Structure 1
């Protein structure tokens, strides 16, 4: 079973994150299939791209168990982040209007993938958390780009303390555009998609390009910096301990933490 399903019909490209676990962890096949789906949406000249999920979570972020088994986690993270960032860059640069539909948890890079959309729709039960520093990593997946959406200090708070945001808090922060009862989310998404498909494609594309370039002229530079940073963290003693602790389901004991701070 694949990690990504793709369906195109009448101007709408639907990219569905799907996994047997229902949590959509991000591994190499996931990012490869995601990039292929984004390219297909470009080839189909989609007017709207919908990124959604099939399961109990939008995406729990990186597949940390695969990091634990990797001989060179830094190299693995470099490959994963680079390929994921290619998809995020394409979603942000393409003329199609991108809508994300978030159910359940969006964690780590799952937050960045949801936020790559132009319009983020959320179920009331959805939750958002970055969680990177909890395992000794720095953020990737476009999390640094959130500073233009949410503001520097709000993103620093999310990245350093890892609070779990409710859908309402995510909307108040500026990440989520609309919240709907879980049972109504699909119909609400259909309404938004129909409105976009009925609009002027040139005007929508020009508006997206204008506003995105004003907000962040060089997103690819920021994404590359994320890749280099998370690779360095993954290769560090703290990063290796964070991975091991996560897999063992125990609190991490980071080597960089002084004995006095542990007590």
Structure 2
């Protein structure tokens, strides 16, 4: 399959999916989300043993492309719901992918980009990488990422990161359990291959079964959490604060919240 917003390469049992919109800091559009889903479905059905996610240019992923969100301001509720469902499907597919996944974070991974990076089984980051669930800064709700974040680090820490919307370092991400290793830039690709080789030495069936078991243990809770999150995601797009927050961001000014 040909792709426009990502680059897919496969060698030695490793499929590398590179987000390829460097001029937009690899911000996700509906087209990119669909292509990521297709690339993961190909990986699940194919012969690769490990899937690696990376970003082109200076950033890993800036989250959702806000210019696309702004264009949806006047769309009907059904389209907002469908958009939220696409994001949920993307994160859920990544979480449940039967092949082990590695994120190689060489730059900023923000909002949905943080979600994409940290839902992977292994997340490696360089010391200068930045993370953040910044949705509240634009009047949005960090809905879909919240389900996976709470599952990973617990509610108390999740409240801090989600409600402040602050950027945090790779070191802090490692400390709270969102990053497996902080790696010097020149060693990032080396560590990716080392971990991939270690995974490839194990039974692919056993790895898939282990991932399936872990996902099944959380299924009931995650099903409900994602359903609530999709509703919150779609509802928040109709609020005055969201419209103002996105406009202020794109116009590079401070928002004036109406509450």
Contact 1:116 1:142 survives alignment (8 Å): no
Aligned length: 256
Which residue matches 1:200? 203
Whether the 8 Å contact between 2:144 and 2:233 is mirrored in structure 1 is no
With normalisation by structure 2, the TM-score equals 0.91
1:207-249 deviation digits (Å, cap 9, x = unpaired):
2223333345443432232222111111111111111111111
Q: Kindly state the Cα deviation for residue 80 of structure 1 after the two structures are TM-superposed.
A: 3.3
What is the Cα deviation at residue 8 of structure 1?
2.6
Aligned partners of 2:40 and 2:97 also within 8 Å: no
Shift of 1:175: 0.3
CA RMSD of aligned residues (A): 1.9
Matching residue of 2:229: 226
- 1:96 alignment partner, SS class: coil
1:157 aligned to 150, 154, 160, which one? 160
Q: CA deviation at 1:81?
A: 2.9
Q: Partners in 2 of 1:223 and 1:5 — Cα distance?
A: 29
Q: What is the CA deviation profile of residues 21-61 of structure 1, one whole-angstrom value per residue up to 9, with x for unaligned ones?
A: 16101111111111111111122143211111111111111
SS at match of 1:7: strand
Structure 2's unaligned 5+ residue stretches are none
Mapped contact 2:119–2:148 kept (Cα < 8 A): no
SS of the equivalent of 1:235 reads coil
Secondary structure at the aligned position of 1:21 is classed as helix
Whether 1:104 and 2:77 are equivalent positions in the alignment is no
Structure 1: 5+ residue runs without aligned partners? 257-263
Matched position secondary structure for 1:134: helix
Contact 1:171 1:179 in 2 (8 A): yes
The residue that corresponds to 2:97 in the other structure is 94
Candidates 239, 251, 255, aligned match of 2:258: 255
Aligned twin of 1:134: 137
CA shift in 2, pair 1:75/1:63, >3 Å: farther
> Normalised by the size of structure 1, how large is the TM-score?
0.90
Aligned to 1:183: 186
